Homo-oligomer: A and B are copies of this chain.
Amino acid sequence: MVDQRKVGVLGGGQLGRMLIEAANRLNIQVNVLDAAASPAKQISAHEEHIEGSFKDAAAVKKLAESSDVLTVEIEHVDTHMLEEVAGQVVVEPSWKTLRTIKDKYAQKQYLKEHGVDVADSVDLEGKGVEGLKEVGSTYDYPFMLKSKTEAYDGKGNFVVKSKSDVDAAFEALGKRPLYAERWADFRMELAVMVVKTKDGVLTFPTVETVHEESICKLTYSPPRNVSENVAQRAQELAKKAIGAFKGKGVFGVEMFLLKDDSLLVNEIAPRPHNSGHYTIEACPISQYDAHLRAILDLPISQASLRLREPSIMLNILGGKTPDSHAQVAKKALESPNASIHLYGKGDARPGRKMGHITITAPTLAAAEREMQPLIDFVDSQKGKTVESRSKSSTKADALVAVIMGSDSDLPVLRAGLEILTKLQIPFTTRITSAHRTPDWLRDFSKSAASTSLKVIIGAAGGAAHLPGMCASWTTLPVIGLPVKPSVGDGWDSLVSMTNMPRGEPVATVGVNNSTNAALLAVRILGAENLEIRERLRVWMEGNEKEVLRKDQALLEGGWETYLKGMGK
Which A residues have a C-beta under 8 Å from some C-beta of B?
A: 1-2, 21, 24-27, 37, 41-46, 222, 228, 281, 284-285, 293, 298-301, 303-304, 308-309, 326, 329-330, 333-334, 336-344, 360, 415, 449, 454-455, 475-479, 494, 498-500, 502-511, 513, 515-517, 519-520, 523-530, 533-534, 536-537, 540, 543
Q: A26-B329, A508-B508 are in contact. Are A334 and B228 (CB under 8 A)?
A: no
In addition to A21-B24, A505-B517, 20 A-B residue pairs with Cβ atoms within 8 Å of each other are A2-B330, A24-B43, A25-B339, A37-B45, A42-B44, A228-B534, A281-B284, A300-B333, A309-B309, A454-B527, A477-B523, A477-B527, A498-B498, A504-B519, A505-B520, A505-B523, A507-B508, A508-B509, A524-B524, A524-B527
Contact call B25/A341, Cβ cutoff below 8 A: yes
In the bound complex, CA of A300 to CA of B505 (Å):
45
Contact call A336/B304, Cβ cutoff below 8 A: yes
| A484, chain B: closest CB distance, angstroms | 13
| A406, chain B: closest CB distance, angstroms | 22
Contact call B523/A476, Cβ cutoff below 8 A: yes
On chain B, the residues within 8 Å of A2 by CB distance are 326, 329-330, 333, 340, 342
Contact call B515/A502, Cβ cutoff below 8 A: yes
Contact call A333/B1, Cβ cutoff below 8 A: no
**Nearest 6 interchain pairs by C-beta:** A507-B507, A505-B516, A303-B336, A528-B528, A477-B523, A45-B45
Closest to A40 in B: B45
On chain B, the residues within 8 Å of A43 by CB distance are 24, 43-45
In the bound complex, CA of A500 to CA of B284 (Å):
43
Contact call A536/B505, Cβ cutoff below 8 A: no
Contact call B498/A26, Cβ cutoff below 8 A: no
On chain B, the residues within 8 Å of A478 by CB distance are 523
Contact call A507/B509, Cβ cutoff below 8 A: yes
Contact call A475/B510, Cβ cutoff below 8 A: no
Contact call A333/B299, Cβ cutoff below 8 A: yes
Contact call B509/A449, Cβ cutoff below 8 A: no
Q: How many copies does the complex hold?
A: 2
Q: A329-B2, A502-B415 are in contact. Are A475 and B25 (CB under 8 A)?
A: no
| A425, chain B: closest CB distance, angstroms | 13
Specify which of A341, A509, A536 lies most central, judged by the most chain B CB atoms within 10 Å of its CB.
A509
In the bound complex, CA of A336 to CA of B455 (Å):
31
On chain B, the residues within 8 Å of A330 by CB distance are 2
Contact of A333 among B293, B475, B516 (CB under 8 A): B293
Contact call B505/A500, Cβ cutoff below 8 A: no
In the bound complex, CA of A155 to CA of B504 (Å):
62
On chain B, the residues within 8 Å of A304 by CB distance are 336-337
| A371, chain B: closest CB distance, angstroms | 13
| A557, chain B: closest CB distance, angstroms | 23
User: 26 A-B Cβ contacts within 8 A?
Assistant: A1-B329, A21-B21, A25-B339, A26-B342, A27-B344, A37-B45, A42-B45, A43-B45, A284-B338, A285-B336, A298-B333, A299-B333, A308-B309, A309-B309, A415-B502, A475-B526, A477-B520, A477-B524, A477-B526, A477-B527, A498-B511, A502-B515, A503-B515, A504-B540, A508-B509, A524-B527
On chain B, the residues within 8 Å of A494 by CB distance are 498
Closest to A533 in B: B475
In the bound complex, CA of A330 to CA of B25 (Å):
13
Contact call B528/A527, Cβ cutoff below 8 A: yes
In the bound complex, CA of A454 to CA of B454 (Å):
15
Contact call A502/B475, Cβ cutoff below 8 A: no
In the bound complex, CA of A415 to CA of B334 (Å):
52
Closest to A342 in B: B27
Q: A43-B45, A338-B284, A449-B533 are in contact. Are A509 and B509 (CB under 8 A)?
A: no
| A493, chain B: closest CB distance, angstroms | 11
| A317, chain B: closest CB distance, angstroms | 16
Closest to A327 in B: B2
